[in-house]
Structure 1
Amino acid sequence: MRNLLIAITIFYAVPHTVLAQNALQPPAEEFVFRFQPPNGISVRQTYKMEKTRKTEGQPLVKDEAETQTEGTFRRVGDSFEYCPKIKSSTLRRNGTEINDPIIDLLSKVQITYVISKGGEATEIRGFSEVKQSVRSTMPAQVAAALAPFLNEASLVAREKAEWNARYSEYADGKFRIGEVIDVQAPQRLANGETINYTIRTSFPGWEPCPAGSCIRLKQIYESDAAELAKLVEGVLGSVASAASAPQMAPKLEGGATRITGSLSRLIDPKTMLIYFEQVKRTISMRVQVPGQRPLPTVQEESRTYTYSYE
Structure 2
Amino acid sequence: MGIILAVPVIGLDPQYEGLIKKASSILIIGAVAWVLANAVRIGEKAVLASYDISASDNLQARKVYTQVHVIAKTLLFIIVLFTVASILMCFEEVRRFGTSILASAGVVGIIIGFAAQRTIANLFAGFQLALTQPIRIDDVVIVEGEWGRVEEITLTYVVIRIWDERRLVVPLNHFIEKPFQNWTRTSAQLLGSVFFWVDYTLPVAELRAAIKDIVEKAPLWDGRFWNLQVTEATERGMQLRVLATASDSGNAWNLRCYLREKLIEYVQTHYRNSLPRVRLDAPGLNGSAFTHASIPDSART
Q: Given the two structures, how large is their TM-score scaled by the length of structure 2?
A: 0.24
Q: Given the two structures, how large is their TM-score scaled by the length of structure 1?
A: 0.24
Question: Which has more strand, going by share of residues?
Answer: 1
Q: Which has the larger radius of gyration?
A: 2
Question: Which has more helix, going by share of residues?
Answer: 2
